[in-house]
Amino acid sequence: MPGACAQGLIWGIMAIGVYITFKILDLADLTVDGTMATGGAVCVMMMLSGHSFGVSLLAAFIVGCIAGLVTGILHTALGIPAILAGILTQLGLYSINLRILDNKANQAINVDKYNLLVSLRYIKGVPFYKNTILVVAIIIAILVGVLYWFFGTELGSAIRATGSNNNMSRAQGINTNAMKVIGLVLSNGIVAFASGLYAQYQGFADVNAGRGAIVIGLAAVIIADVIFGRIKGNFAFKLVSVSFGAIIYYIVLQIVMWLGLNSNDLKLLSAIIVATFLAVPYLKSHYAPKRTVKKGDNADA
């Protein structure tokens, strides 16, 4: 269970990146399936070359931002639909990721030889300040604080306005194309950063690490929306709830694995979980018995 929580927290960072495009910008960005592999590849290869985990994670973030920039340009400057632009970037990243990994499908990094920020071995039997769960929780707290501040600025508010009503934002003089590009850059940078952490956690970077990542990210966002959506909270609470959504997702997976599910069926289970949480709000709104308001029930009447 601690391992599931640690993985959930790391994927929670990735889910925050997905939240920016899916909920704030209202864009379906599939680039993350590529950047979730790119960030890990860059981070591991940088560390194998002798760089610290801090510099390596920063490099992963920057490369992720570049990938988001490519998707943004394809979408805004060339008029390619967002979902197709993301697929094109993701497709190109596969070859780039192989080049980054020195034309190998994966590259391992040994926790005994390299100073890793997080690791599967740092779950139990380590000082509390090295515990992966605590370290990632602190990173999420800092990330949520920075994003809460950023989206409260004029630029951040313009990005949120673009996602809420693109036409009205343009009428108010906001360069909506630029806002979409910035949002995609920020989102994929965060995803690549999470990928760098995840590669350290599992001890290797893999060219296929991002396959299906968008499903996990969407699952976390949707689970958070279904479970915590009725709780009135500010923007920071929504970001934190997305992280909890990722933890819940991985705990559910862990429980199902304990019950004897074949690991080959995990992708199918992921699709079922996402479909279930997507369907719950719709089914409740259409089939739940509606309360009839009788005369005199309304206190304001």
Q: To 10 degrees, the CA torsion angle through 191, 193, 199, 201? A: -110
Q: What is the pLDDT of residue 55?
A: 94
pTM of the model: 0.88
For 195, residues 6+ apart whose C-beta sits below 8 A from its C-beta are 14, 35, 36, 37, 38, 39, 40, 43, 60, 64, 209, 210
The DSSP letter of residue 67 is H
Q: How many CA atoms lie within 13 A of 210 on its CB side?
A: 30
Return d(Cα 241, Cα 166) in angstroms, integer. Answer: 26
With a CB cutoff of 8 Å and minimum separation 6, the contacts of 1 are 251, 254
Contact 31, 188 (CB under 8 A): yes
What local confidence, expressed as pLDDT, does residue 279 receive?
A: 80
Per-residue pLDDT tens listing for the chain (301 residues): 666 778 888 889 999 999 999 889 888 889 998 999 999 999 999 999 989 999 999 999 999 999 999 999 999 999 999 899 999 999 999 999 999 998 988 889 888 888 888 887 877 767 777 788 888 999 999 999 999 999 999 999 999 999 888 888 888 888 999 999 999 999 999 999 999 999 999 888 888 887 878 888 888 888 888 888 777 778 888 889 888 888 888 887 777 777 776 767 777 777 787 787 778 777 777 776 655 545 555 544 4
- Return d(Cα 72, Cα 21) in angstroms, integer: 11
pLDDT, residue 292, reads 52
In the chain, the amino acid numbered 176 is: T
What's residue 290's pLDDT?
A: 58
pLDDT of residue 133: 85
